[in-house]
Amino acid sequence: MLRRVWKPVAATVVVVGAPAYLYTRSRSQSTRPAPEQTFDISVRDGSSMGTRTVTLQSKADIDRRLREFATLESTATKEGLVWKHATARLASNDPIEDANAQAIIPKPAAVVEDGANAVTTAGELLFFAVMDGHGGFSTSRLLSKVLIPAVALELNALINPSYPSTSTALPSKSIYDTLKSYVVSAKPSTTPDPTPKQVSQAIQRAFSNLDYEIVNAPLRVLAAATGGQLPKGEVPDLSAHPMAVASMMPALSGSCALLAVLDTSARELYVACTGDSRAVAGFWDETPDGKGTWRVEVLSEDQTGRTPAEAARIRSEHPAAESEDVIKRGRILGGLEPSRAFGDARYKWPREVQETLYHAFISGTGKSMRAPPPLLKTPPYVTATPVVTHQKLAIPSLDQDSASPKSTLRFLVLATDGLWDALSSTEVVSLVAGHLSGLIGPVPKSQLPDLIPTTTGTPTVDGKDKAKPADQDGKWVFEEENVGAHLIRNAFGGGDEGRVRRLMSIPAPHSRRWRDDVTVTVVWWEDGQQLEEKIKAKL
């Protein structure tokens, strides 16, 4: 039953139940259909509904797609820990509108007074981000290249005030090369470590400044092309300008962004959320008898019009006469679901600006641009400024008395909302904990809580309008080596192989009725010395 021992899990898993298919009738009653088996789905044809026949993909094809973009990387840090991160993604849109990024950047050395001695410390900043694009992939793909560098620059400016931040011009060479050159060339800093509040504000500043650049890029292109003079009623055709599409598309499409920053030397964790992606942590709470439970802590809150705090914030930022219009059906102006996002300039530009930019950059191409929302009156209605949460990374082997009960964050899950549409926060923590503990094979859903006992930490708000029925008669399955792919498989059927194959066989764009793009990153740590001892024991 155990692939490897990571935390105590002992159980006998019994395979029960039969596949419960999700969609319309199958054209074969065989439980192991031939490769050419088909099934019908409902599709919208204009204003009416119709059906489409879909070829059922083989299990081998589904397995290949689940594992195609799955990655696993390890980083040993100076504190004696090995940080691992696994990422997987699965497209529903064609092309996928999700994106992700990660980076490991050395911290500049710092001089810390330890009694009569001065101790030089250093560590790493680990960055992990997932981006959930909408209205296209332009914004999310851009963020995958520039969000982490922007935040890293802002954090570096806290430690070394003489270096630039996102409020100044960015250097022309590689941003990572620039940051590393700062670290290598800098003398050890005697500046005290910034406080969590300062770090949180720096991350917020980087997000906001970056969105400002994205949304205002077309306006700068227009101003440069016209010398800053735009005669009334005369808008030039700049559709052939080399920056026309390059500046407009990231501003017009949109993207949520979820970023985790881990400071390995200070052992701090920051999670910045813009939009309705979600970060969830699994804490292992050990009891005095040596046993324990997994505590589910949600480190971000879905930001939509259905989240009470977000709805109140947005209404407070606009005239009272708009209070009934700014949020409709849980959406911003009745259209956009996330209440915070990069891009989405339709909700940020005044109506006349949108019309001017359309005539300047789009109309000459023969393409169309979505009109401003009908209820748009006092933009902006959407912000990219994130909510930032902070956690201490308590590592018992380094920080606590070994005789006392231990409570520590063991892993972190970052995922776009396509995963949370299908799985709850508790289910995700249970599935990751079971995977890292070494479970293998199918596990009845009703039995997993006994194998992986969980408790719930601070409650948060699920900002989506969805009714996901509890399915305790089904099965989870533990067959993927990559923990990210493991979560995606279980989100779309788990141990019900027929359901997994049907869900993943539906092609774009019809698949969006049943599943969204999904990107998930799981980050966890292992004790470097214990890991080395395990490897030597195997040899």
Of the candidates 432, 166, 483, 96, the one whose C-alpha atom is nearest the C-alpha of residue 280 is 432
User: What angle do helix axes 196-226 and 244-252 make, rounded to 10 degrees?
Assistant: 140
DSSP of 150-195: HHHHHHHHHH-TTS--TTSPPPSS-HHHHHHHHHHHSPPB-SPPPP
Residue 500 falls inside a structural domain:
yes
The alpha carbon of residue 290 and the mean position of all alpha carbons in its chain are separated, in whole angstroms, by 34
Q: Does residue 360 belong to any structural domain of this protein?
A: no
Q: How many domains does the chain have?
A: 1
Count other C-beta atoms under 10 Å from residue 316's C-beta: 10
**If you count them, how many residues does the chain have?**
539
Q: Does any domain span residue 507?
A: yes
Contact 492, 504 (CB under 8 A): yes
On whether residue 322 sits in a domain, the answer given is no
Residue 48 has a pLDDT of: 83
Contact 464, 302 (CB under 8 A): yes
Peptide bond into 161 cis (omega under 30): no
Local confidence pLDDT in tens for the 539 residues of the chain: 334 334 333 332 333 333 333 333 344 445 555 557 999 999 987 778 899 999 999 999 999 999 999 999 999 988 788 999 999 999 999 999 999 999 999 886 665 555 555 444 568 899 999 999 999 999 999 999 999 999 999 998 887 776 666 665 444 444 445 444 434 444 555 566 789 999 999 999 999 999 999 999 999 999 999 987 877 778 999 999 999 999 999 999 999 999 999 998 888 999 999 999 999 999 999 888 878 999 999 999 999 999 999 999 999 999 999 999 999 999 999 999 999 999 999 999 999 999 999 999 999 988 889 999 999 999 999 999 999 999 998 876 555 555 556 889 999 999 999 999 999 999 999 999 999 999 999 999 999 999 999 999 987 777 776 655 556 679 999 999 999 999 999 999 999 999 999 999 999 999 999 999 999 999 999 986 665 555 455 44
Does pTM top 0.75 for this prediction? yes
Q: What integer pLDDT is reported at residue 36 of this predicted model?
A: 77
CB 440, CB 1: distance < 8 Å:
yes
* CATH of residue 290: 3.60.40.10
List Cβ neighbours of 316 (8 Å cut-off, separation of 6 or more): none
pLDDT of residue 26: 42
Among 296, 233, 527, residue whose Cα is nearest residue 433: 296
Domain annotation covers residue 1? no
Range of the domain at 429: 38-308+383-538
Distances (CA, A) of 404 to 19, 367, 397, 399, 529: 46, 66, 11, 11, 21
Structure tokens at 413: 């899950």
Residue 355 resides in a domain: no
The C-alpha torsion from 238 through 240 and 241 to 244, rounded to 10°, is: 80
In this structure, the number of other CB atoms found within 10 A of the CB of residue 34 comes to 9
